[in-house]
Structure formats: structure tokens, C-alpha cells
């Protein structure tokens, strides 16, 4: 259950749903497996018991945070299998009718082939966990992929009607801060530099240097920075017991909790898997809250300037209404 990657999104308006209200909203879009003609299915499952399709608890509340879990099931149809079946179908028609198959018809045939293969295809399932911290004003998604994180946010927005969130942005850009930390051979308070970083030339996107198991305080690394390269990924060790990679999008990857942190979750005895999940979630939420606070402090705090999609649309609609009202008064 321990998160391995973090993508953090900030609420631009207070999140007011409690666990019961959120559970009720999500229950309208619970996960159901793919049928014979479905390519994929996406829906909500119990975060504490994701394999139990009958569990109605779609929200797990602990430490003021609300854990949710989305399940995606996809049909596995390798491109090679589709192409082979398509070529056989094209050859059959060409031989029977003595003519060539052109692009549009070929695409239609491909669609027919896919639909014919779907009932026999294997399925592949994946889980996407996230938790909402109303007090902190953000949602944390366990994902290394921005697209998968956005997929969960879109599903959540559809379930609850509105989700005014934007990616968390710090006042100091991550690449500027990380470049300064490595140049000065020092990390912000509560952190230490790790042994890995990625350097990029801002003037040449293909020029990238990846350093692993290196002393980032070395002259060699410093010389690259003097030529104008910037740090786009950096390994950091949080002194409270978490190692991770920070990138220039403020995403946290390859998150690893130290044994002493995980041991906090085993000190208390649990009667079942749900109670053990609750303990682990509580410990993780407390640790990540402190980690995010310390990291943002090192980056100068949160930038509050950006607007969510909902706020932008609302402002545009309000502006249009105001302009229309003025026009009506002017020309009456």
C-alpha cells in the first residue's frame, strides 16, 4: 500500500465533502469488469480491499485524509495479433473479389477484426491509489505518469461534479532550486543530496547527462553546471527516513520509506487486513505530510497564482455575463 510515486495537485477551492458524501458520490461509478465487447473499464473500488468487488466502502478515512482507489481493466490485444488477422482478411477479400483494398476500407476491416478478437482477449487490471487531504488542500496520487494521474482526476471530477485542482507549483522553480543545491553542494534543511541526478542543456533538448552512484559535490558535476546545464532530476534523502527522486515538474518518483518508518506500522497489532491498511495509511499520511511541508519550505513555499480549469471557465462566464449586461444597458 505504500506509495512509490507522488503527483500532487492543489485544490484552488476548499474540498468540503466528508467520507460519507464522497463514498455516496463514488458509488455511482463503481468498477465493473469488461464484457465481451469492451476494450476497457474504469471505476472505483475499496482502497482497503480492492479485490473484494462487493465491498461498498469506497473511501477510507484516517488522520483527516480520504483514501480512494480506481481500478482499470483493459483487454490485451497485441498489435502483431491484430495485424496478422487483418492481413489474412485483406488477402481473402483481394483473392475473392480480385481487387485492391484501399486505406478507408482497410481501417474499417481493422475495426471489425478488433471487435471479433475482443471476446477472446485476455484482460489486464491495474489499481490507482490517491488520497485527499482537505486540511492541507491537496490530493496526492500514487503515479509516476501524469496521464494516469489525470485519468483518475477526470474520473473523480465526473463522479463528484467539480474538482478545482491544479498541479502543485512552488514559488521557486524546481530546476532552479535543484541546480543551486548541487552547485552549492548543499541541500535544504532536513534533506541531504543523494547520489543521482540528471543534467540537461536548456538550449539543446537532446543533450542530457544521467549520473548514478556519483558524488554530486564533485568537480566534474560542477563543471557541467558551469557550462550552463541545469538539474532536472535529483536524488534527495529526507532525514526523517524517506529517499526519492525529485524532478523539474515537482513530481516525486522512486519513493522509498526506510525500514524504521515502516516498522511504525507494525508496532501496533491489527486484527485483520482492513485494520492493518488503516495503520499503514495513517503512518504514511503523517510522514508524507511532513515530507511535502519540508520540501515546499525548501522551494520557497506554494505559488498561489495559478487557476484551475473550473476557475478559468467561471471567470470567463462571469465576464461574458457582465459584458452582456453592459451592452443591454447601453443600447436600450
Residues 47 and 23 in one domain: yes
Which parts of the chain are beta strand (E)?
A: 7-11, 40-45, 60-62, 65-76, 122-133, 138-141, 165-167, 191-201, 204-212, 230-238, 242-247, 252-257
Average pLDDT over every residue of 186-212: 93
Task: Identify whether 103 is part of a domain.
Answer: yes
Average pLDDT over every residue of 195-206: 91
Residues 108 and 139 in one domain: no
pLDDT at residue 95, as a whole number: 87
Q: Which domain holds residue 29?
A: 7-76+124-167
**Is the pLDDT score of 39 beyond 60?**
yes
Query: Where on the phi/psi map is residue 185: left (φ > 0), alpha (ψ -120 to 50), or beta?
Result: left
Residues 95 and 205 in one domain: no
Can you give the pTM of this predicted structure?
A: 0.84
First to last CA, the chain: 64
Task: Identify whether 332 is part of a domain.
Answer: no
Write the pLDDT tens digit of every residue in 226-285: 999 999 999 999 999 999 999 999 999 999 999 999 998 888 777 788 899 999 999 999
As a whole number of angstroms, the distance between CA 259 and CA 218 comes to 30
As a whole number of angstroms, the distance between CA 104 and CA 110 comes to 10
- Tally of helices (H runs) and strands (E runs) in the chain: 9, 12
Residues 41 and 142 in one domain: yes
Residues 47 and 88 in one domain: no
Domain count, the chain: 3
Residues 249 and 286 in one domain: yes
Residues 35 and 135 in one domain: yes
Q: Give phi and psi for 115, each to the nearest 5.
A: -65, -35
* Least confident interval from 206-220, 269-283, 302-316: 302-316
Amino acid at each position: 500500500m505504500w506509495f512509490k510515486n507522488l503527483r500532487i495537485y492543489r485544490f484552488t477551492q476548499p474540498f468540503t465533502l466528508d467520507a460519507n458524501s464522497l463514498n455516496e458520490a463514488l458509488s455511482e461509478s463503481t468498477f465493473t469488469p469488461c464484457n465481451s465487447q469492451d476494450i476497457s473499464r474504469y471505476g472505483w473500488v475499496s482502497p482497503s480491499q480492492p479485490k473484494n468487488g462487493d465491498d461498498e466502502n469506497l473511501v477510507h478515512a484516517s488522520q483527516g485524509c480520504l483514501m480512494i482507489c480506481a481500478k482499470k481493466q483493459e483487454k490485451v490485444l497485441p498489435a502483431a495479433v491484430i495485424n496478422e488477422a487483418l492481413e489474412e482478411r485483406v488477402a481473402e477479400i483481394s483473392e475473392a473479389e480480385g481487387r485492391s483494398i484501399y486505406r478507408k476500407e482497410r481501417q474499417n476491416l481493422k475495426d471489425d477484426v478488433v471487435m471479433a478478437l475482443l471476446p477472446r482477449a485476455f484482460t489486464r487490471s491495474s489499481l490507482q491509489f490517491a488520497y485527499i487531504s482537505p486540511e492541507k488542500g491537496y490530493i496526492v496520487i500514487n503515479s509516476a505518469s501524469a496521464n494516469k494521474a489525470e485519468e483518475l482526476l477526470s474520473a473523480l471530477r465526473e463522479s463528484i461534479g467539480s474538482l478545482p485542482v491544479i498541479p502543485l507549483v512552488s514559488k521557486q522553480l524546481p530546476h532552479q532550486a535543484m541546480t543551486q543545491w548541487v552547485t552549492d553542494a548543499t541541500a535544504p534543511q532536513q534533506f541531504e543530496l543523494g547520489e543521482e541526478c540528471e543534467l540537461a542543456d536548456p538550449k539543446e533538448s537532446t543533450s542530457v547527462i544521467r549520473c548514478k552512484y556519483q558524488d554530486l559535490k564533485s568537480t566534474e558535476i560542477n563543471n557541467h553546471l558551469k557550462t550552463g546545464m541545469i538539474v532536472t532530476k535529483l536524488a534527495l534523502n529526507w532525514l526523517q527516513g524517506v529517499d526519492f527522486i525529485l524532478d523539474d515538474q515537482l513530481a516525486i518518483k522512486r519513493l522509498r520509506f526506510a525500514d524504521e518508518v515502516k516498522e511504525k506500522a507494525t508496532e501496533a497489532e491489527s486484527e485483520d487486513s482492513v485494520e492493518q491498511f488503516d495503520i499503514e495509511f495513517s503512518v504514511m499520511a503523517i510522514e508524507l505530510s511532513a515530507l511535502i511541508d519540508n520540501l515546499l519550505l525548501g522551494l520557497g513555499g506554494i505559488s498561489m497564482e495559478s487557476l484551475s480549469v473550473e476557475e478559468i471557465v467561471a471567470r470567463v462566464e462571469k465576464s461574458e455575463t457582465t459584458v452582456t449586461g453592459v451592452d443591454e444597458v447601453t443600447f436600450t
